[in-house]
Structure 1
Amino acid sequence: MPRTQMSRKHLINFSLALFVMVLLSPRVRAVGCAAPSFNVSTFDYNGFGISSVIAADFNDDGKLDLAAAATSPDNGGGTPTLVLLGDGAGNFRPPTAFQGAYRATLATGDFNLDGKLDLVVAAQSYIAILPGNGLGGFLSQAQPFYLSQGGQITSVSVEDFDHDDYPAVVVTTLGISNKVYILRGNGFGSFYSNPLPLPFTGMWPEDTAVGDFNRDGNVDVAVASYGYISIQPAVDIILGDGRGGSLANALTYPVALGQARTVDAGDFNGDGIADLAVAKYSTESPGQIALMFGSGTGSFSGDASMATGNGPAFIAHQDFNLDRGLDLVLTNYNAGGVTIHLGNQVNGYPGSVFNFPLTMPRPASFATGDFNGDARPDIIIGNFGGAYPSFTQMTNTCTAPVLHSANFDGDGRSDISVYRPSNGYWYMLFSSDNSFQAYPWGTGTDKIVPADYDGDGKTDIAIFRPDEGKWYVLQSSNHLVKLQNWGVATDVPVPGDYDGDGKSDFAVFRPQSGSWFILQSSNGAVRLSQWGVSTDSPVPGDYDGDNKTDIAVFRQTTGKWYVFQSSDNITLDPQFGASGDMPVPADYDGDGQTDIAYFRPTNGTWYISSSMSRNTRAQQWGTNGDVPVPTDYDGDGRADLAVFRPSAGSWYVLQSSNNQVRAQQFGQSGDVPIPSALIPH
């Protein structure tokens, strides 16, 4: 299945294009819907079959588009590459045809470094790069790059294999070649003339997945091969040397009960290490998936087989039930359907299995992403059968409660709520039924620390008592009180899900030493990290989308952010803001990653740097003296711009789902708006 380079700092395939969770600081696990559900529709292009389909934003409008390799039923009507521009509401314009090839596979990347996505069309024994114009159009390449060894190209993945910041590709070839090559990009929209063969020892390589399997900072390659006669189907692991070559001979892992058809890489058991999932094609029913768990040193466990649908062809991962676990999705070439295996990043697999029959006879390649802007991953499948319909669209309808810093009723929307230090009461207006609730919990000197400490999908009422260094938590799951000594009087409480187990951990930031002290709820382990200086504001959040809270600070003196990503230990240090600005990190675009953002009190303007589009936007919402309270009040998976006005006890929410304004009088001067509890002031 084609893999596409979307970022030069991270090794990701396009099936992770949009990860769909609302995210606050701190971020905790969503409950998820019990079963994935979809609305299914179809659309056609002259009865053409589709050999490859990918999704990307080809016209730079912030909405996902499609590119598909089409083949007429009799190969007499042409073999175009189709581009279908999306409107962000789940619809696509009529396709525009560009240069194509019979049974092509597609990928995308910026090969001429002009900031616009180009298309890679690979078929037979050549690769063509179609330069993009940034408007959704592509130019034809006059001289495709031919592999001198010949052979049928079966897959192409895009990455930077030699750290030169130029996209390159890894391709697999069948037939007389039976090779795996890296073609290094030259930065001018083509490749250097000397393909680099990788030490592949199998037979009939079908697909690749890329990632850093030994955590040395270089791109590695996993190759799935069909096998032939006496040569068994297998997955070969080729460790990269950072120069476009390999460190050593491939590690070979035999695959039983079917041919290794496609392979996907992801952290399927939540240990922070890349694993592999392999679709094993056969004529037997049920089909099989091979799960191979990584060690972090480049080696993997053997083939742990798991039953799936009939004739699994293509495999990828996404979070379809919105529980922040990686689910596997496969097309079943023999049965004409799709199978989804639910997983979670705490326990991994096996999980519940769901089969979705389709009307198309030969579902094969597919793309996932949020095509209608509702912060849920959808699926668009190409029909290789060459009969109606060309495409099937599965629009995700899962509705799952998402945890927020003020989601006390567990309905997936934050509740307007305040804490009154004068009497120690919490006042909440439940979004589920508009009922009013009041609880006494705290004193005037306590710091409120609302979060989900028991993992039941609801925010717990909790305070940190500085003079005791003690936390008092009223657990919503059983109404029991949990006490924990953790911290000293001068510490700043920073609860968050640092270990990714779906529960908030007790954590504090100690300004005097710039140290973080975290008590992990998963195993009781103590984690100590030095990150920041005395004048920094702690701004924890999930900036890399790995379901774990990252340690981060905002430095008022310079307006710089310092984020330590838990997924890869990479440091981000963007300059965004100035002295006097209030950091308001949250997931404003619904892609599952915390966006860097600040509120400027002097002009009441929000400045947001989107982690999804990499664009920056500014919007005026509020005035000097307002308290920013960003969170998801309308349940669309995105944080809304919102302020609490202490002088009037009023809330003003700009709902991201429909741009409607919600005004609510709730509270009085002196109250602390609960959604702002963990935002530095």
Structure 2
Amino acid sequence: MIYTLLMIVLPASAAGFKVKALVPVDTFSASVAIADFDHDGKLDLAVACYDSNATLSVLIGNGDGTFQPQVRYPVGSGPYGVAAGDLDSDGNTDLVVTNYNDGTVSVLLGTGDGRFQPQMVFSGSSEATVVALGDYNGDGNLDLATSGQGAAILLGNGDGTFQTAMFPTSRYANSVVTGDFNRDGTLDVAFGFTYGSSGKGYIQTLLGNGDGSFTPGMVSSLGSHSTPYSIASGDLNHDGKLDLAATTFSVGVEVLIGRGDGSFFSEVPYTTPYTTYSLAMVDLDRDGNLDLAVADFLDPAHANVLIGKGDGTFLPAVTYDAKGKNGEGIGVGDFNRDGSPYIVVTHLSSENVSILLNTGGTLVHSRSSLNPSQVGQSVTFTAQVEQSIPNTGVPTGTVTFKDGATTLGAAPLVSGTAKFSTSALGQGTHTIVVSYSGDANFNPNSAKGLVQVVSP
């Protein structure tokens, strides 16, 4: 008989952040893309640096929250937005950059070893700051949507090249995000813009027709004097409908709950202490609810974290020092592979990006006392839960042991260890699931599966 011992995630709210390092890059780092560029299972960084050198900086991750020195790649004038994806369907991650000054898009195809080919250049929107990826015409190839004058759509050919840009709106788009907002199976686009002398902000959806064209959708109003610098999309209340969050100059963050038809309910504002710029939407504390991480444009810069309640509302913002000057871009990734995301903040006025580690990170190890065992023999499963960040304390809480969907028992952590013994494992193949609950200071986490062999 073969048993597989796994760990699962249960709700907790323990995310806290502190600066691990300021990683050198060129000046005016505007945005960051996070992906595995060299297939080593460790996340890497690509940083668009809006300076006179017109470069994209690539930093290969070491798997412990540190990075190798930057490698510069020439791109167009005023690189601002960057995104990562497989643009030529070869299994390697590629990069796309919007160039603010010359209205072009640079595409750098990855070689799979952390390096990139020289840029290919395509015409796009002038003054573009953001790029989003998605398959807008259903051909299996990634396409591009950029902010800027006209919110350009560039359809991909599947080989890393793109067709002539289309402009489904004449409005100046400050920000752009992709998602299926009306649940018709076709990707849509939402972009933020400011209109009129009052500086009032709006978000409009462009509903995808499935062939790469779009139909203008609903326009949602934001607060007055609230330019939507950045937009993120996700299901904030678990109703299967995509919601939006936008950073605004005057308020902080505004959340719009989706109706599922391409329109949204009225915005709900959440204040932050300082002027906000970019945001990311991700589960920071591993409780199954999406949270918000927001960079502010201040000296020194900060990362503002709003923990989601799972019903579309958020706890008040908690502010963490990011050390650098004038936060611009933000990204999230698990750089030390402990299951708890870090935050990355780029800075327009300092030659670095901030790496903020998640102090709620845990490492979980599991083992069996007797492997292989026989039917009727007692087997003790041990779960060891420890901090992944030094000097953050000892995890407490509960470990639950299950046989499939059936709970076998639970045990409290004592000095980071929980044990459960059973002699009732029958012959056959079972999956023994062991879950750490998390506590007020530490996030839930999972261990690799442990194969338990039980003979007749």
TM-score with structure 1 length normalisation? 0.55
Q: Summarize the alignment of residues 112-511 of structure 1 with structure 2, pairs less than 5 Å apart.
A: 112-123=88-99, 124=101, 125-141=103-119, 144-147=121-124, 151-173=126-148, 178-193=149-164, 195-199=165-169, 202=171, 204-230=172-198, 232-246=200-214, 248-257=215-224, 258-282=226-250, 287-334=251-298, 336-345=301-310, 347-385=311-349, 387=350, 389-399=351-361, 431=383, 459=400
User: C-alpha distance in 2, partners of 1:132/1:474?
Assistant: 48
**Displacement of 1:367 after TM fit?**
1.9
User: C-alpha distance in 1, partners of 2:326/2:29?
Assistant: 10
User: C-alpha distance in 1, partners of 2:206/2:450?
Assistant: 50
Distance 1:231 1:45, change over 3 A: closer
Q: Residues 106-144 of structure 1: CA distance to partner in whole angstroms, max 9, x if unpaired?
A: 1222223333222212113111212221122222236x2
User: C-alpha distance in 2, partners of 1:28/1:334?
Assistant: 36
Decide which structure has greater strand share.
Answer: 2
Whichever residue aligns with residue 167 of structure 2, its letter is P
User: C-alpha distance in 1, partners of 2:68/2:384?
Assistant: 38
Distance 1:140 1:430, change over 3 A: closer
Equivalences, count: 414
User: C-alpha distance in 2, partners of 1:130/1:460?
Assistant: 47
User: C-alpha distance in 1, partners of 2:383/2:404?
Assistant: 23
Report the secondary structure of 1:459's partner residue. strand
Residue in 1 that maps onto 2:450? 642
User: C-alpha distance in 1, partners of 2:216/2:50?
Assistant: 37
Whichever residue aligns with residue 296 of structure 2, its letter is N
Report the secondary structure of 1:43's partner residue. strand
Whichever residue aligns with residue 30 of structure 1, its letter is P
Aligned counterpart in structure 1 of residue 11 of structure 2, from 25, 30, 42: 30
**Displacement of 1:432 after TM fit?**
7.2
Residue in 1 that maps onto 2:23? 43
Q: Summarize the alignment of residues 502-651 of structure 1 with structure 2, pairs less than 5 Å apart.
A: 631=433, 637-646=445-454
Aligned counterpart in structure 2 of residue 110 of structure 1, from 83, 86, 93: 86
Q: Residues 568-615 of structure 1: CA distance to partner in whole angstroms, max 9, x if unpaired?
A: xxxxxxxxxxxxxxxxxxxxxxxxxxxxxxxxxxxxxxxxxxxxxxxx
User: C-alpha distance in 2, partners of 1:185/1:24?
Assistant: 43
User: C-alpha distance in 2, partners of 1:476/1:92?
Assistant: 39
User: C-alpha distance in 2, partners of 1:641/1:474?
Assistant: 18
Distance 1:184 1:430, change over 3 A: closer
Whichever residue aligns with residue 70 of structure 1, its letter is C
Say whether the 8 Å CA contact 1:627–1:644 is kept in structure 2: no
Residue in 1 that maps onto 2:424? none
Say whether the 8 Å CA contact 1:227–1:259 is kept in structure 2: no
Residue in 2 that maps onto 1:563? none
User: C-alpha distance in 2, partners of 1:110/1:473?
Assistant: 44
Distance 1:103 1:432, change over 3 A: closer
Whichever residue aligns with residue 109 of structure 1, its letter is G
User: C-alpha distance in 2, partners of 1:102/1:427?
Assistant: 62
Moved more, 232-241 or 249-258: 249-258
Q: Choose between structure 1 and 2 for higher RCO, CA contacts under 8 A separated by at least 6 residues.
A: 2
Residue in 2 that maps onto 1:81? 56
Residue in 2 that maps onto 1:530? none
**Displacement of 1:184 after TM fit?**
0.6
Whichever residue aligns with residue 73 of structure 2, its letter is F
Distance 1:26 1:297, change over 3 A: farther
Q: Residues 26-58 of structure 1: CA distance to partner in whole angstroms, max 9, x if unpaired?
A: 95633342x523343212236x22012111111
Residue in 2 that maps onto 1:661? none
User: C-alpha distance in 2, partners of 1:67/1:197?
Assistant: 27
User: C-alpha distance in 1, partners of 2:38/2:245?
Assistant: 32
Say whether the 8 Å CA contact 1:462–1:474 is kept in structure 2: no
Say whether the 8 Å CA contact 1:341–1:353 is kept in structure 2: yes
Distance 1:219 1:185, change over 3 A: same
Moved over 6 A (4+): 23-26, 412-418, 426-430, 460-464, 471-477, 625-628, 633-636
User: C-alpha distance in 1, partners of 2:108/2:244?
Assistant: 31
Say whether the 8 Å CA contact 1:161–1:219 is kept in structure 2: yes
- Percent of aligned positions with the same letter in both sequences? 25
Say whether the 8 Å CA contact 1:322–1:398 is kept in structure 2: no
Say whether the 8 Å CA contact 1:199–1:250 is kept in structure 2: no
| Structure 2 unaligned blocks of 5 or more | 386-396, 413-426, 437-442
Distance 1:281 1:457, change over 3 A: farther
TM-score with structure 2 length normalisation? 0.80
Q: Residues 302-327 of structure 1: CA distance to partner in whole angstroms, max 9, x if unpaired?
A: 11111123111001112222222211
Q: Summarize the alignment of residues 58-73 of structure 1 with structure 2, pairs less than 5 Å apart.
A: 58-72=37-51
**Displacement of 1:640 after TM fit?**
2.8
Q: Residues 74-126 of structure 1: CA distance to partner in whole angstroms, max 9, x if unpaired?
A: x3xx1211111112222211111111232421122222333322221211311
Report the secondary structure of 1:196's partner residue. coil
User: C-alpha distance in 1, partners of 2:106/2:19?
Assistant: 36
User: How large is the Cα RMSD of the aligned pairs?
Assistant: 3.6
Q: Residues 465-489 of structure 1: CA distance to partner in whole angstroms, max 9, x if unpaired?
A: xxxxxx9999999xxxxxxxxxxxx
Report the secondary structure of 1:104's partner residue. strand
Q: Residues 233-264 of structure 1: CA distance to partner in whole angstroms, max 9, x if unpaired?
A: 10001111111111x32311111042111110
Distance 1:630 1:94, change over 3 A: farther
User: C-alpha distance in 2, partners of 1:157/1:644?
Assistant: 45
**Displacement of 1:221 after TM fit?**
0.8
User: C-alpha distance in 1, partners of 2:433/2:66?
Assistant: 29
**Displacement of 1:277 after TM fit?**
0.5
**Displacement of 1:633 after TM fit?**
8.7
User: C-alpha distance in 2, partners of 1:137/1:394?
Assistant: 26
**Displacement of 1:351 after TM fit?**
1.5
CA radius of gyration, larger in: 1
User: C-alpha distance in 2, partners of 1:641/1:314?
Assistant: 37
Say whether the 8 Å CA contact 1:162–1:243 is kept in structure 2: yes
User: C-alpha distance in 2, partners of 1:643/1:357?
Assistant: 43
Report the secondary structure of 2:147's partner residue. strand
